[in-house]
Structure 1
C-alpha cells in the first residue's frame, strides 16, 4: 500500500466523503479509448500551480522510484525508453563501474521486453514510451512486474468570453481563445489475467494520470502564479470486479503522492530521471546493492534476529549491517573482480574457502561482529577487532569467533611517544600495521573515524590502503568528543577542510525556543545545512584529512536504516586500476609500479603529511604527547565500560 503522509496535500473539504464506488463516472478523456474507463470527482484536484514541465519531471522520477508509492517495492528498473534518456540497469553498470571500456559480455545480460501497444487517444499525440520492471522487496512473496508507460501530450485552444455583461451576439464577436496544455500518462501492466497481478499493484487493467494546465495570459513576475492546473486519476477496472476499500485508498494515496512530490520538484537541480542527491548511488548502481541486500536479508536476518543476545533492538542493527555488507560486496566486485561464495564455480569453491584475489579486510571497532560474520560467511577473508568482547560474538560459529579480536588500537604516532608501561592497559593493543592492500572498514567507529585515513596511510605509506569510513559521533584525534567547525569555502568556491576555527561545541538556537530548534533541524537537511551540521562537519573533516595526505576521496549516501549514512571511500579508483593491471597483464602491472627511488620518496611524503596533520590536530590538546595520554586513558575506559553495541541507536 502507498505510504501514509503526515499531512494530506489535498483540499479535503472538496471530497464527497462517499465510497468511491458511489462516485465513479465515465472518464471524459478515455471513454472513447475503451469502454470501461472511469474516474471520480474525488480523484480530481484543481487549483494547482505546477507547470506541465514540473509534472513531467516528477512523473519520470517516480518511474524509477515506485518505492515512494509502495513500501513493498525496492525500485523500478528501466528496460526501454523510446527517447533513449533513461538507462537500463546494465547500461548503468557499464558506465558507472566499468567505464567506457565495456565488453560484449556486458550487453548479454540485458533484458529485452517489448512494450505493449499504445492506443490512439483523440486529441493527444504519443510522445514517449517507457518499459519498466517493478522490483519487490521480498521476491519470495511477490514477483517482479513489467509495465509499459505511454506519455501523451496535447495543446488546445479553448473559447473564452471577455465579459459576461455583453449580449449573446456581442459575446460571439468578442470571444477569444485561451490555451490549455495537457499531459497524460497511461500505465499498462504486463499480465494476461487479474490472477497474475502482484499484491503491490492495484488490481486494474490500466491506470492513467491526466494533468490539464491553463497558463496565465500575461504573468507580471516570476513569483506570480504561472497558471492553474487540474490533476486527475483515471482507471480501467476488471469487469465484474468490485471496487474494494483497499483500491480506493490506493488511488487516493497515489494522487496525494503525485501532488506532494510535485511541490518538492525542482527543475534545475538534476537531469531527467536522475536523483536529487548527487551523492546517492554515485559509486555503485542502486539495483546491484538492493538485489544483494535482498538475498542477504533472506539468508541471514531471521536467524540473527532470533538469536540476538544484546540488550539493543536487533532489527535495526541487523538490517543496517546487512545493508552495509551488500554495498561492500558490490564495491569489492567492481574493485577486485571477486564474487560471493554463492556465485563461484564448484571447482573454485572446493579448492579454496576464500577467493585469493581478494586482499582481505579489517573491520575496526567491529562492535557486535555481524558485519564480520556475514562477510566471512560470504567468502571474504578478513577479521575485526573491538575494545571489548560483545555478547553477540558467542552466537557465531567458532571459526567466526576466531576472527573477532578483543584488541585496542593505539595510533602509531601515539605509540611512538608512549613508554612500554603506559602501553600496558590490560588488553592487547596494536598500531594498525595491517597486511598489504587490506581493505579497512570503519563503520560508526567513533574515535577511529578521523584516524581511519591516517591509519590506512601509516599501514603502508608506499601504497596507502583503501578504506570506507561511515562517520557517526564526532571525536578529535585524542579520542575526546569534539565538534569540528564547518569547512571554509576557498576562493574557488570549494570547501577548505584542512584548518579549524573555534567553534561552539554544543550550540543552541539564538531564540532558545522549539520553533528555532525546529528551523535549525530543517536547515541541516539542506545541502548547506548538511555541511554545517555536526555530522556534516565530521564527514567533511574525514574527507579533508584523507585528501590532505594524498587520497582520492569519494562521498556516497548509503541506503542503510540510519541517519548516520554517509560513506567516505578512499583509494577506490587507484586500487581498481592496480588490481585490473595485476589480473590482466603482468607487463601492465609493472608499467604502473613506481621505480624504487620514487616509491621511497612517495612513502616519505605520505609520512610527512601524516605527521603534519597529527601535530596540527593534536595542538588543541597541548601536543601529541598530551593527546596520546588522553587516548590511553580513554582506551582503558572503553575496555572496562559500555561498548558501542549498547550505545543508543544512531
Structure 2
C-alpha cells in the first residue's frame, strides 16, 4: 500500500484534549476546546484506484454523493442513511470544533458538507453512527502545474473518537477516507487511525492496535466497484421505485420493532413443527410476512390517522377489548386475511392489537402452536362468493349460499366443513398475499362491501380458479402504449389485469414494491371507491364483469377438489394450496 499524494497537501487539525465518546447533537460539536496548531503531516494511504469515463465535476459529485447516501448498496447490514444536515439547504458553516472536521487540503476548498446517520438493520447488534461528508473542489491554479484536468475530492469522516479500539463493523476501520477524481482517474485513500502516545507528546502518534485493514480494503473495493459501475452508466434509471406510499423510515422502524418482538417466537414455533435451519423456505417466509405486516400497519396508521405512539403504548388492545369506543382504532373495522396459509401474518397483526381474522381452504398443523385467541381467529373455510351464478351448479354448498345471506360463515347440514359466502362488514380491509385463485376476486369482493384492500399477486388464475395468461385486450387501459402481450411475462400481465379490474370497480390502484425477501414483491393497494354506488348496483356491476371474463364455471369443481383433497401433514405453507 503506497503513500498518497494527499499527505503533501493535508494539514491536520489538532485538539487540546481528545474526545472520549460518541458525539451527538447539532453537527456533532466537540465538548472539548479545539485549537488549530501545526503538526507533522499524518500519512494518507492510497487504497485502490480505477479508470472511469471522464465526467463534469457536478455530475461526478452527484454520483459519488448519491452512492454514499445509499449505503445499503455498500453494506448489507445498513438499512439506510438519514441526512441530518446539508449545507446546500441551510448554508455552509465550517466549525473547526466539529468532530467531523479533521483538517484542510491546501489546493482544495470546501463547497458542501453533509452529515448523515447510518441506520443499521439490526439495532440490537449495531449502533447508528453519524458521518460528515465533505465535498471539496480544486482551487483555481491549484493543480499540478496548472493542469487542465478537473479535480474533485470527497472526504468521509465518522463522528467517532480516534482512539477507540472497537469500530462499527459496517464502516472501514480508518479515521477517514477520501474519494478523489483527477480527470478520468478515480482513487480511494484512507487516513489510518492513530492516537497520542501521551498527553505531553502530541506530535508523536502510534497506530491503534487491532485495526482490521483487511476488512477496510474489502469495503474500499466494494465502494470502487459500485462507483465504477455508476460512472459507466450515469443516466441509469431504476426500473422500480420503493416507498411511494409509505415512507421508508416509518416502514423500517415498524419492521425493526416487529422483528425484535416476534421473529424469535415465530422461529421457535416453526422449529417445533419441523421447520428450522438456514435456507428453510418456510422459515424465510416469516420475515416476508413480517415485512407485509409492517407495511399494513404503516398504511393503516396513515389511512385511519392513528398516531404511531398508539402502537408503542399498547392502546390498540384497549380498542379491541372495548368495541365501539372512539379510541385509536375507532375507524378501523377490521381485516380479513384471505388464503392466510401458515397464519403468520394474521398472528402478528392480532398480536399487535389489530382486530381481524384469517381464512384458508385447509388448516395447518402450525396453527395449534399459536395463542388460543389467534387460533380462534384462524378458520378453515372455503370461499364461495355469493355472486357466483348458482342456477347451473349442482354443488350443494353454493345452493345454500343465498345472495341475501349476510352471515359470512355457514355450514352444510351433515358436514363439518365451513364455507365463506364472500360477505364482509362494510369497510373491512381485505388482504390477499399470494392468494393465487383469490387474487382476481379480491377487488371484486372489496367492491361489494365497499372495502379497501391490498393484493400481492403471484400465480395467475382467472375467476373460475383456472390458470390462465391474461390477454392484452383485457388488461390494457385505453391509450396506453404497452408491449404486445406475447412479449410480457405472465406475472406482469396478471398485474395489469388486476389493475384493470380495480379501475372497473371505480378504484384507482396504487402500486408499491415492498421491501420483502421475495421476487413477487409488488403490492396493489385499493382504497374505497370515490364514486360509491348502491349495493344492488355494485352487485350488478360485479356480475357483469364475471360474465364478460368468461364466468365462474369450474370454480365449484376446484372447490370440491380442495374439499376432497387429503390434508397434507405439513405444518406450514405448502405452496399454492394456501388459497381458498
Could you tell me the TM-score, scaled by structure 2's length?
0.77
- SS of equivalent residue, structure 1 residue 632: helix
Shift of residue 339 of structure 1? 5.4
2:48·2:220 contact (CA, 8 Å) conserved in 1?
no
> In the alignment, what sits opposite 2:154?
185
> Of the candidates 248, 251, 259, which is equivalent to residue 225 of structure 2?
259
Please give the residue correspondences for 1:332-343 in structure 2 after superposition, counting only pairs within 5 Å.
Answer: 332-338=300-306, 343=311
How far 1:385 moved relative to its partner? Answer: 0.3
Distance in 2, matches of 1:572 and 1:262, equals 47
| Cα distance in 2 for residues equivalent to 1:454 and 1:320 | 26
Q: Which has the higher helix share?
A: 1
Moved more, 395-404 or 29-38: 29-38
Give the paired residue count.
Answer: 503
Q: Look up the match of 1:360.
A: 334
| 1:127 and 1:152 in contact (8 A); partners too | yes
Deviation at 1:615, TM superposition (A): 1.6
Mark the CA change 1:246 to 1:634 in structure 2 (over 3 Å): closer, same or farther: farther
CA distance in 2, matches of 1:38, 1:383: 61
Deviation per residue, 1:400-435 (Å, 9 max, x gap):
100000001112332544456253697221122111
1:71 aligns with 2:55: no
Q: 1:426 to 1:474 in 2, by over 3 A?
A: farther
For the 8 Å contact 1:155–1:179, the answer to whether it is kept is no
User: Does residue 421 of the first structure (1) align with residue 396 of the second (2)?
Assistant: yes
Cα offsets for 1:520-546 (capped at 9, x unmatched): xxxxxxxxx8xx222222112111211
- Deviation track 1:88-131 (CA, whole Å, cap 9, x = no partner) reads xxxxxxxxxxxxxxxxxxxxxxxxx9884474422223221111
The DSSP-based 3-state class of the residue aligned with 2:175 is strand
- In structure 2, distance between residues paired with 1:156 and 1:28: 20
Report 1:121-140 matches (<5 A).
121-140=105-124
Residues in 2 aligned to 1:638 and 1:495: alpha-carbon distance in whole angstroms:
41
Q: 1:208 deviation in Å?
A: 1.3
**Structure 2 counterparts to residues 139-288 of structure 1, below 5 A:** 139-154=123-138, 179-195=148-164, 197-213=167-183, 228-239=184-195, 240-241=206-207, 246-264=212-230, 266-268=233-235, 276-277=238-239, 279-288=241-250
The reply to whether residue 396 of structure 1 matches residue 370 of structure 2 is yes
Change (3 A) 1:211 1:571: same
1:632 match: 559
Contact 1:145 1:189 in 2 (8 A): yes
Tell me how far apart the structure 2 counterparts of residues 356 and 491 of structure 1 sit (CA, whole Å): 40
Bigger CA drift: 548-557 or 76-85? 76-85
Closer/same/farther in 2, CA of residues 298 and 486 from structure 1, 3 Å limit? farther
Q: Offset of 1:38 from its aligned partner?
A: 1.3
Change (3 A) 1:132 1:562: same
Output the CA distance in 2 between the equivalents of 1:84 and 1:159.
Answer: 29
Does the C-alpha gap of structure 1 residues 287 and 341 become closer, same or farther in structure 2, counting only changes over 3 Å? closer
Instruction: Give unmatched runs, 5+ long, in structure 2.
Output: 14-40, 91-96, 196-205, 323-328, 399-411
Matched, 1:543 2:499: yes
| 1:476 partner SS | coil
- The correspondence for 1:406, drawn from 374, 377, 380, is 380
Contact residue 79 and residue 131 of structure 1 kept, 8 A = yes
Please name the residue that 2:251 is paired with.
289
User: 1:241–1:615: structure 2 CA closer, same or farther, 3 Å change rule?
Assistant: farther
CA 1:63 to 1:338, structure 2 compared with 1: closer, same or farther past 3 Å?
Answer: same
Q: Does the CA contact (< 8 Å) of 1:363 and 1:372 recur in 2?
A: yes
Is 1:441 aligned to residue 410 of structure 2? no
Relative distance call for 1:486 and 1:231 in structure 2 (3 A) is farther
| CA displacement at 1:485 relative to structure 2 | 4.3
Once superposed, what is the RMSD of the aligned Cα atoms? 3.6
Establish whether residue 568 from structure 1 lines up as the match of residue 572 from structure 2: no
For 1:138 and 1:147, the matched residues in 2 are separated by: 19
CA–CA separation in structure 2 for the residues paired with 1:64 and 1:637: 55
* Aligned-pair CA distance for 1:39: 1.8
Could you tell me how far 1:369 is from its partner in structure 2? 0.4
Conserved 8 A contact 2:78-2:121: yes
1:381 equivalent in structure 2: 355
Q: Match for 1:647 among 555, 568, 575?
A: 575
Structure 2 distance, partners of 1:573, 1:121, is 61
C-alpha separation in 1, matches of 2:549 and 2:80: 43
The 1-side partners of 2:228 and 2:456 are apart by 32
Change in CA separation of 1:159 and 1:437 when aligned onto 2, cut-off 3 Å: closer
CA contact (8 A) 1:156 1:181 kept: no
Shift of 1:206: 1.6
TM-score of the superposed pair, with normalisation by structure 1: 0.69
Alignment match, 2:406: none
- Unaligned runs of 5+ residues in structure 1 are 1-19, 86-112, 161-175, 214-227, 271-275, 504-528, 575-593, 619-623
